């Protein structure tokens, strides 16, 4: 709790500052409205058709690929931290939880190799082709 | 011991938060002025130099400009158009600003103060809001991802075509460059063996070798990715003025626009902090700051000064790049992220992991000196090899020829009216 409390305080203060600015401006600022002012901005032309239209499927592909790679990255963080820290892999080897360092290293490299295979597949399928 | 003692850590945290939030908001305002001066210098004109003390003729080199701008924008109408999704439209700027401020809970802004000897306070007092948080890098990474929500919410809620396209592009860009960013971070985390940013700085100070020298490829990847994450030129496609007006904040005005702009500047400041802390040694400078945890008051001040100077230097570099480079095209941007930065990031990670894994064997076989030399030389070899490979395997940036899906034959058919199939 001692470690988290300053973080929570910071988040609360950051939110308060943002909301405070918004409220202040709301109290001070003038209010005028008009039909033209309410229109969506389209470079001075009258707006044509709805905004909610179909868009390029490649944005979905990027989102999905991102999800896969980002989660794989997060899986690598524990290994990266444990690799050389005092209570990490060396301690586990000393306690007999892992037979030797090499097996952890080989496992991590195998994981990265699998990621690369997936990456190569995506590339060949044209997921990253944008024109 | 007195009644205040149990609350001392909280009070200390509040003081630091106050200093940071005040400092950051002021810095964001004055960095706008610095950026305008920089633009003026690059374009050989004068820039803002008139606003000084009000009601007098004292100009003060335009130092009053940020305050005048801020006051003016707060006095303006906080206008919400009728066609927007009101809740999301209001929440978007709040989310993005709050997140970009709260990142600094885990970012150190100096080394440590000398022991104060106050009971109830940890000694020495670190320049860090949450010293107990041992997932600092993950906190920074998570909160910088929240920026994507702000951008996407703003773009979607605006119900405006420019805003929508800007939001889409922007989120695709932020999402694509987060992976190289994470890979760059991972190399440093592996070498330092900690997720705490102050521990990463200490590790660099102790060895005297900044990670920019030990992992040049990681530095390059992280540097480019943080430009893209901060949406600075040459990566400012989210709000490419000539194509998308204002991008995701086209429909925003008044104070909400200010919140977006401040958040954007804070992203640049955060990027500069991270580059300096993770790769450029933080507060460490050879022969000036020392490297231990015991400092005098002067030493603490010097370290704070060194860190600030480095950060300011990186920010000036960001600004200089903005006024010297043209913008990428979207397909070039995506190519760079997926086909260049991601493989280079993985190459860096594998190199660093292998060196760190076999360092003890190397030291045992060759002795400390040659082992250290190999551990430094290998990443540089990978750096140049990767650079050359990336240059040879990907099309050059000057290749602007369009890929024709519409041939001359198609054109002739459509002229004769034979090809009226709806596309």
Structural domains of chain B, count: 1
Return the SS3 of B292: coil
pTM reported for the whole predicted model: 0.87
Q: Is the pLDDT of residue B25 over 70?
A: yes
For residue A73, give the nearest of B76, B183, B403 by CB distance.
B183
Interface contact A41-B133, CB threshold 8 A: no
Which of these, B318, B147, B365, B159, lies nearest to B251 by C-alpha position? B159
Q: A3 to chain B, minimum CA–CA distance in Å?
A: 4
Interface contact B133-A3, CB threshold 8 A: yes
Q: pLDDT > 90: what percent of chain B?
A: 9
Q: Is the pLDDT of residue A76 over 80?
A: yes
Rounded to whole angstroms, the Cα distance separating A78 from B190 reads 10
Residue ranges of A 53-112 with Cβ closer than 8 A to chain B: 55, 59, 62-63, 65-66, 69-70, 73, 76-77, 80-81, 83-86, 88, 101, 105, 108-109, 112
The first and second tokens of residue B335, run together, are: 């190519």
Q: Which residues fall within 8 angstroms of residue B95, CB to CB, at 6 or more apart?
A: B146, B149, B150, B153
- Rounded to whole angstroms, what are the CA distances from B381 to B216, B347, B376, B388, B423? 10, 12, 9, 11, 50
Q: Is residue B408 part of a domain?
A: no
Closest chain B residue to A28 measured between Cα atoms? B75
Rounded to whole angstroms, the Cα distance separating B86 from B191 reads 47
Q: Is residue B174 part of a domain?
A: yes
Q: Work out the pLDDT band at B395, boundaries 50, 70, 90.
A: low
Return the SS3 of B352: helix
Q: Is residue B403 part of a domain?
A: no
pLDDT computed for residue B76 by the predictor: 84
Q: A83 to chain B, minimum CA–CA distance in Å?
A: 7
Which of these, B191, B85, B95, lies nearest to B137 by C-alpha position? B191
The first and second tokens of residue B167, run together, are: 């939001």
pLDDT computed for residue B423 by the predictor: 44
Rounded to whole angstroms, the Cα distance separating B388 from B6 reads 59
For an interface test with B, give the residue of A2, A6, A115 to mutate (most B CBs within 10 A): A6
The predicted-structure confidence for B171-222, as pLDDT tens digits, reads as follows 888 888 989 998 888 999 988 888 888 888 888 888 888 888 888 999 999 9
Q: Is residue B155 part of a domain?
A: yes
Rounded to whole angstroms, the Cα distance separating B287 from B412 reads 74
Rounded-to-10 torsion of CA B353, B357, B360, B364: -100
- Contact between B156 and A59 under an 8 Å Cβ cutoff? The reply is no
Rg, chain B, Cα only: 25
pLDDT computed for residue B312 by the predictor: 92
Interface contact A26-B78, CB threshold 8 A: yes
Q: Which residues fall within 8 angstroms of residue A7, CB to CB, at 6 or more apart?
A: B102, B105, B106, B129, B130, B133, B139
Mean pLDDT of the B18-40 span:
88
* Domain housing B359: 5-396
Report helix angle B136-157 to B161-192, nearest 10.
Answer: 170
Q: Is residue B228 part of a domain?
A: yes
Q: Is the pLDDT of residue B314 over 90?
A: yes
Q: Strands, E, within B168-275: which ranges?
A: none
The predicted-structure confidence for A3-17, as pLDDT tens digits, reads as follows 788 888 888 888 998
The predicted-structure confidence for A89-131, as pLDDT tens digits, reads as follows 777 777 777 777 788 888 889 999 998 998 899 888 878 877 6
Mean pLDDT of the A35-55 span:
76
**Which letter, b or e, does each residue of B7-26 get, where b requires 16 or more Cβ atoms within 10 Å of its Cβ?**
eebeebbbebbeebbeebbe
Q: Is residue B67 part of a domain?
A: yes
Closest chain A residue to B192 measured between Cα atoms? A84
Rg, chain A, Cα only: 26
User: Quick one: residue B152, left, alpha or beta (phi over 0 = left, psi -120 to 50 = alpha)?
Assistant: alpha
Q: What is the DSSP string of B360-386?
A: HHHHHHH-HHHHHHHHHHHHHHHHHHH
Q: Tell me the H-state helices in B51-122.
A: 65-75, 86-102
The predicted-structure confidence for B238-249, as pLDDT tens digits, reads as follows 676 677 777 788
Which of these, B183, B191, B182, lies nearest to B211 by C-alpha position? B191
Interface contact A21-B259, CB threshold 8 A: yes
Q: Work out the pLDDT band at B422, boundaries 50, 70, 90.
A: very low
Q: Is residue B422 part of a domain?
A: no
The predicted-structure confidence for B116-144, as pLDDT tens digits, reads as follows 767 667 667 777 777 777 888 888 888 88
């Amino acid at each position: 709790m001692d470690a988290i409390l300053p973080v929570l305080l910071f988040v609360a203060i950051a939110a308060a500052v943002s909301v405070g600015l918004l409220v202040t401006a709301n109290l001070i600022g003038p209010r005028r409205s008009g039909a033209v002012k309410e229109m969506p901005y389209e470079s001075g032309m009258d707006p044509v058709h709805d905004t909610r239209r179909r868009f390029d499927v490649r944005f979905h592909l990027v989102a999905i690929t991102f999800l896969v790679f980002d989660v794989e990255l997060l899986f690598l963080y524990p290994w990266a931290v444990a690799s050389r820290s005092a209570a990490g892999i060396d301690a586990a080897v000393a306690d007999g939880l892992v037979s030797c360092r090499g097996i952890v290293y080989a496992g991590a490299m195998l994981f990265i190799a699998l990621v690369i295979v997936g990456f190569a597949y995506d590339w060949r399928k044209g997921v990253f082709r944008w024109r | 011991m007195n009644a205040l003692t149990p609350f001392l850590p909280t009070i200390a945290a509040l003081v630091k938060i106050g200093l940071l939030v005040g400092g950051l908001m002021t810095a964001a305002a004055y960095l706008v002025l610095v950026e305008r001066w920089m633009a003026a210098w690059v374009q050989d004109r004068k820039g803002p130099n008139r606003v000084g003390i009000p009601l007098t003729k004292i100009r003060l080199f335009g130092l009053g400009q940020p305050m005048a701008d801020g006051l003016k924008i707060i006095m303006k109408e906080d206008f919400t158009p009728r066609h927007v999704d009101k809740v999301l439209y209001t929440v978007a700027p709040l989310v993005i600003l709050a997140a970009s401020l709260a990142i600094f809970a885990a970012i150190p802004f100096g080394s440590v103060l000398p022991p104060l000897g106050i009971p109830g306070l940890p000694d020495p007092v670190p320049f860090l809001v949450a010293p107990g948080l041992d997932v600092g890098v993950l906190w920074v990474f998570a909160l910088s991802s929240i920026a994507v929500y702000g951008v996407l919410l703003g773009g979607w809620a605006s119900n405006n075509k420019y805003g929508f396209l800007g939001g889409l592009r922007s989120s695709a860009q932020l999402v694509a460059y987060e992976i190289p960013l994470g890979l760059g971070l991972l190399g440093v985390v592996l070498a330092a063996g900690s997720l705490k940013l102050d521990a990463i700085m200490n590790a660099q100070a102790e060895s005297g070798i900044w990670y920019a020298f030990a992992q040049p490829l990681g530095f390059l990847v992280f540097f480019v990715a943080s430009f893209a994450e901060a949406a600075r030129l040459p990566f400012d496609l989210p709000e490419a003025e000539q194509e998308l007006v204002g991008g995701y904040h086209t429909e925003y005005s008044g104070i909400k626009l200010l919140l977006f702009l401040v958040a954007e500047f804070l992203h640049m400041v955060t990027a500069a902090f991270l580059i300096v802390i993770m790769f450029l040694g933080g507060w460490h400078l050879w022969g000036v700051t020392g490297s231990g945890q015991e400092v005098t008051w002067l030493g603490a001040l010097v370290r704070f000064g060194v860190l600030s100077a480095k950060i300011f230097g990186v920010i000036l570099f960001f600004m200089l790049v903005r006024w010297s480079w043209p913008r990428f095209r979207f397909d070039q941007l995506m190519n760079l992220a997926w086909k260049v930065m991601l493989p280079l990031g993985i190459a860096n990670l594998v190199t660093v992991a292998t060196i760190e894994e076999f360092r003890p064997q190397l030291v045992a076989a060759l002795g400390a000196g040659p082992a250290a030399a190999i551990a430094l030389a290998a990443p540089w070899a990978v750096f140049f090899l990767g650079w050359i490979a990336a240059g040879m395997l990907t099309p050059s940036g000057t290749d602007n020829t369009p890929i024709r899906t519409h041939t001359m034959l198609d054109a002739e058919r459509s002229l004769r009216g034979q090809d009226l199939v709806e596309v």
